Structure 1
Amino acid sequence: MYWAEFLTVALIHLLAVASPGPDFAIVVRESVAYGRRAGIFTALGVGSGIFVHVAYSLLGIGLIVSQSIVLFNALKWAAAAYLLYIGIRALRAKASAPAGAEPGAGASGRTARAAFVTGFVTNGLNPKATLFFLSLFTVVIDPHTPLIVQAGYGIYLAAATALWFCLVSLLFSQARVRAGFARLGHWFDRLTGAVLVGLGVKLAFSEMR
């Protein structure tokens, strides 16, 4: 009965999650710098962050945030500050040690919890995701759709997001790929840091639509 609606949600989400953004940048950096284990836990953190957006969308809190410039700006500035923080840290990082032959080499410098929290916070604080999920749950999904079905959509969105970024992590944590980035030394960190800082600045000056 709800297959058409679900397929629409899945397609829109696929287009959104495949677009490069803070989540993609942070998963790539964690995977290259610390290895497959850290990258996967970062991806799981990003996927878990989806539950935050789903929860307030189902509760209607997202609508309140979208209608309040003060609340939206508070969320926006918190997210921008976090991106600037991790971006500046990346810009100041020294050249990392070359990646070893094993995909997980270097992962000892990053705990699973730290990687997970990084992914979770990056996604959970993203105000663009707030507006995306708000529009998804108010425009695309029929308000008369049972909450249990909408919650099922949310579980799918979180799982699909985690799976997508796990695949990204598997790609960028391969020994050959990591070795290629390692040859760039600190320039890769600087490039990633510049991207994150740029995203943070762009977010800080974005306006609610």
Structure 2
Amino acid sequence: MPSTELFWTFLIAISLLTITPGVDTLLVMRNTARGGLKDGVMSSFGICSGLFVHATLSAVGISLILLQTAWAFALLKWVGAAYLVWLGIASLRQAFSKKADHTPVRNEPATALPAAGDYRPWRSFREGLLSNVLNPKTALFYMAFLPQFIDPQGAAFSQSIALAAVHFVLAMVWQTVVAGMVLHSRRWVARPGLKRLMHGLTGGVFVALGARLAATQP
């Protein structure tokens, strides 16, 4: 671990960054609405697992190579952008799907959890992991951010992984809280018209984020 002073500075900075809304928060909210708390938490687990990938790449200097090699950065950028657009299109398809018009039967609780088939652990984990790993902004952020809190007298790799572990815990806790808040509001969210609106809005945001990422210059 870095020095105590560096660690507390990192903890404050990463806590503020964690609670700042972004693609990760949006994905957790969308998947929680789709498949319940387990879907949201597993998506968060995938997102947070990607932090170790970025920490490792940062520690061994791969992020610097991506930053300095135009074609590598461009490839990562386009793959990440394409994945965000794909997620957006998937949400838009749900918004216009006839299944979104499902109206609960008279005796069905308005807060009933989604059917078991709506939650697939591997799908949730994969979506979260890819959303994080394929985001070049996260790679560049770790490249620029982590070194500021690394003690040059210690091992860079172990310190990077330790800091990523702290970020992992903070992000998991926060995103689980977000998933819980989404689940708590299911009575309001479960209305067909609002479900369509939610899927449409999140889909549009994902597509817009993907287009914005694709337009980002290295």
Which amino acid letter does the alignment assign opposite residue 30 of structure 1?
Answer: N
Moved over 4 A (4+): 96-103
Which stretches in structure 2 are left out of the alignment for 5+ residues? none
Instruction: Pick the aligned partner of 2:179 from 169, 173, 177.
Output: 169
Q: Does 1:193 align with 2:203?
A: yes
Q: Deviations over 1:18-52 (max 9, x none)?
A: 22211111100001121111111011111111111
2:3 is aligned to: 2
| Structure 1 stretch displaced more, 139-148 or 75-84 | 139-148
Offset, 1:138: 2.5
- 1:96: how far off? 6.1
The match for 2:81 is 80
Aligned ranges 1:138-177 → 2 under 5 Å: 138-147=147-156, 148-174=158-184, 177=185
How many Å apart are 1:97 and its aligned residue?
Answer: 4.2
Q: Kindly report which structure 2 residues correspond to 1:1-209, keeping only aligned pairs within 5 A, or say none.
A: 2-93=3-94, 94=97, 95=100, 97=102, 100-101=109-110, 104-147=113-156, 148-174=158-184, 177-183=185-191, 184-208=194-218
Instruction: Count how many residue pairs are aligned between Structure 1 and Structure 2.
Output: 206
CA offset at residue 109 of structure 1?
1.2
Q: Cα distance 1:103–1:49, how it changes in 2: closer, same or farther (>3 A)? A: farther
Provide the identity percentage.
31
Pair member with larger Rg? 2
Q: Which letter maps to 1:186? A: R
Give 1:84 shift.
0.3
User: Structure 1 residues 36-45 or 159-168, which shifts more?
Assistant: 159-168
Determine if contact 1:44/1:166 at 8 Å carries over to the other structure: no
Give TM-score, length-normalised by structure 1. Answer: 0.90
Contact in 1 for aligned 2:37/2:179 (Cα 8 Å): yes
Per mean C-alpha deviation after superposition, the further-off stretch among 105-114 and 127-136 is: 105-114
- 1:139 deviates by 3.1
Relative to structure 2, which stretch is displaced further, 68-77 or 145-154? Answer: 145-154
SS in 1 for 2:205: helix
Give the TM-score taking structure 2 as reference length.
Answer: 0.87
The SS at the match of 1:105 is coil
Structure 2 CA distance for aligned equivalents of residues 112 and 143 of structure 1: 40
Alpha-carbon RMSD across the aligned residues, in angstroms, is 1.9
* Alignment check: 8 A CA contact 2:48 2:172 kept: yes
For 1:60, give the aligned amino acid: G
